[in-house]
Amino acid sequence: MPTFETIKFELTDGLAVISFNRPELLNALNSQLKAEFLKALRMLNQPHSAARALLITGEGRGFCAGADLAEGATDAVDMGASLTDTYHPFLTELANLNIPVVSAVNGVAAGAGMSIAISADIVLASRSAIFLQAFVNIGLVPDAGSTFILPRLIGLNRARAMMMLGEKVTADKALEWGMVYDVVDDDKLMETAKAMAQKLANGPTVALNGIRTLMAQSLKNDYQQQLAAEAVVQRGAGRTADCIEGVTAFIQKRPANFKGI
pLDDT digits (tens, 9 = 90+) for 213-258: 999 999 999 999 999 999 999 999 999 999 999 999 999 999 999 9
pLDDT surpasses 80 at 42:
yes
Would you state the pLDDT for residue 78? 87
Per-residue b or e along 188-223, where b marks 16 or more CB atoms closer than 10 Å to that residue's CB:
ebbebbbebbbebbbbbbbbbbbebebeebeeeeee
pLDDT surpasses 90 at 64:
yes
Residue 117's nearest CA partner among 70, 165, 72, 65 is: 65
The pLDDT tens digits of the residues spanning 175-215 come to 999 999 999 999 999 999 999 999 999 999 999 999 999 99
**What is each CA distance from 238 to 206, 233, 242, in whole angstroms?**
10, 9, 9
| Span of 24-38, 68-82, 84-98, 235-249 with lowest mean pLDDT | 68-82
Which residue type is seen at 114? M
Instruction: Report the catalytic residues.
Output: 88, 143
Q: Are 152 and 218 in contact (CB under 8 A)?
A: no
Q: What is d(CA 54, CA 9) in angstroms, rounded to the nearest whole number? A: 10
Q: What is the mean pLDDT of residues 132-146?
A: 96
Would you state the pLDDT for residue 214? 97
Would you state the pLDDT for residue 28? 97
The β-bridge relationship of strands 122-126 and 101-105 is parallel
The pLDDT tens digits of the residues spanning 141-181 come to 999 999 999 999 999 999 999 999 999 999 999 999 999 99
The pLDDT tens digits of the residues spanning 89-129 come to 999 999 999 999 999 999 999 999 999 999 999 999 999 99
Question: CA Rg, the chain, in Å?
Answer: 19
Would you state the pLDDT for residue 71? 79
Q: What is the mean pLDDT of the chain?
A: 96
Residue 55's nearest CA partner among 14, 89, 1 is: 14
Domains and CATH numbers, the chain: 7-201 (3.90.226.10), 205-251 (1.10.12)
Q: Are 243 and 237 in contact (CB under 8 A)?
A: yes
| Span of 33-42, 71-80, 82-91 with lowest mean pLDDT | 71-80
**What is each CA distance from 177 to 151, 159, 220, in whole angstroms?**
11, 10, 23
Which residue type is seen at 219? L
Would you state the pLDDT for residue 77? 73
**What is each CA distance from 59 to 102, 103, 104, 132, 146, in whole angstroms?**
16, 13, 11, 18, 23
Q: What confidence tier does 51 reach under pLDDT thresholds 50, 70, 90?
A: very high
